[in-house]
Amino acid sequence: MSNSFFDRRLLLNTLLTLIGSAFLLYCIRVAIAAHLPYLVATILATGLGFLEPRKGWFLAIVQAASIWLVYTFVLEHPTNSFNIELENFGLYGSMILTFVGSFIGSRLKRVFDRG
């Protein structure tokens, strides 16, 4: 099982990713500007890449898909147009930052492992 893609470490990190995604969704919902969700998304995504330097892309997909699916199908949407735009901006920007941060985190981990 150690040679398979879905090893125990990846499954544990996937669980941590889902917990982080829930926190990110909370930040998207309570934010009064896009700064908080973007900061949280960047920190969480960098951690994803740092946890799994080779499989961080999978964790980034899990985080981006989970926040989009839960926001779209589970959460109640605001009625105020400003809040709708703010939450959409925070949601889609956080999804993009998830992939960028995961890449940066994996690069940082590889640099730290060399030195």
Angle between the N-to-C axes of helices 8-30 and 35-51, in degrees from 0 to 180, rounded to the nearest 10: 180
What is the C-alpha to C-alpha distance for residues 75 and 83, in angstroms, rounded to an integer?
A: 14
User: Residue 48 pLDDT more than 60?
Assistant: yes
DSSP letter string, 60-82: HHHHHHHHHHHHHHTSPPPSSHH
Q: Which pLDDT value is given to residue 115?
A: 76
Q: Which pLDDT value is given to residue 4?
A: 87
User: Residue 1 pLDDT more than 60?
Assistant: no
What is the C-alpha to C-alpha distance for residues 105 and 23, in angstroms, rounded to an integer?
A: 19
User: Residue 41 pLDDT more than 90?
Assistant: yes
pLDDT, tens digit (0-9, with 9 covering 90-100), for 56-101: 999 999 999 999 999 999 999 999 999 999 999 999 999 999 999 9
User: Residue 109 pLDDT more than 80?
Assistant: yes
